Amino acid sequence: MYKNLIDMFKENEGKGAAGAFNVHCFEMVPAMIKAAEELNVPIILQTSLGTAEYIGFAPLIAAVKALAEKSSVNVALHMDHCKDIEALKKAIDCGYSSVMYDGSALPIEENIANTKEVVGYAHAHGVSVEGEVGSIGGAEDGIVVDKDAAMYTRPEDALHFASETGADALAVSIGTTHGQYKSKAKINYELLEELKAKLGDTGLVLHGGTGVSDEDMKRCVREGMKKINVGTELNKSYIEVVAETFTAEGVTPLTSLRTLLGPANDRMKEIVTEKALLFKLD
């Protein structure tokens, strides 16, 4: 079924975290949902604004809704890391079930004011909202933040933000970085524990999931993370497999494009399966 994060978190309570996987092209989508179905876990498909514009809002949303309605698991379509309020309103109007306003680079009060505007508009349309306090840093899907600008989320800021905005989910900075796949993040668990205690029902979100070790990932889920993002590994792996299949011996202009893209889609299914298993509570 097609869900927002509010309903997805409620229905997945006690079962683990919902995996949020970045869609970079539409070909990835069916394979991602298939992986979730085989594990019987919910899945969040998320896009950047650039991807939504590349595929087209209407065809992307219509296709995801159609697949979700026939699926045996809950599926959300989430706009990730968007700084443009009008673009988020367009996503909501067109049918996204969830959106993220990223005002983490702004002064806290400006971030709160803008997020509150998005929350008011989204909730009136049955759409969930994720915000961000602190700066996760790095680069992913064309979204670049100076790694040196990354900073931990201050619990007092997170509590103030959550209480003022009414956001349903909050991305927090506890040591991860976008685009980090050559090394592993060092998670600040004391900070995570304090954030969980202060934020109550607000769903904690971990960005930069590619750079988190399997052991840390499982612990983050046990410690209360509700949504975990995976993006860089998907994009990197898709490119690597496509580069290999498109340059393989015997490929000609008459080779079926489906044949060439199939292995990359299969790899997406494998990654979603691997990660989603880590997000389940034992």
**pLDDT over threshold 60, residue 54:** yes
| pLDDT confidence bin for 210, thresholds 50/70/90 | confident
Scan for tokens 């989603």, then name that residue: 276
Q: Environment class of residue 29 by beta-carbon count within 10 Å: exposed (0-12), middle (13-18) or buried (19+)? A: buried
Mean pLDDT of the chain: 91
- Is 80 one of the annotated active-site residues of the chain? yes
CB-count burial class (<10 Å; 0-12, 13-18, 19+) for 248: exposed
pTM of the shown model: 0.92
pLDDT reported for residue 186: 80
Domains detected in the chain: 5-230+265-279 (3.20.20.70)
Residue 37: band (very low, low, confident or very high) from pLDDT cuts 50, 70, 90: very high
Give the pLDDT score at 148. Answer: 46
Question: pLDDT at residue 204 above 60?
Answer: yes
pLDDT digits (tens, 9 = 90+) for 141-163: 545 444 444 578 999 999 999 99
243-252 residue pLDDT tens: 999 999 999 9
Mean pLDDT, rounded, for 240-266: 95
Question: What is the predicted pLDDT for the residue at 151?
Answer: 75
The per-residue pLDDT for range 95-110, each reduced to its tens digit, is 999 999 999 999 999 9
Helices (H), 131-213: 155-165, 189-199
- Residue 163's pLDDT is 97
Residues 42/8, Cβ–Cβ less than 8 Å:
yes
Q: Tell me which of 7, 80, 141, 214 is the catalytic residue.
A: 80
Looking at per-residue confidence, does 136 or 173 come out higher?
173
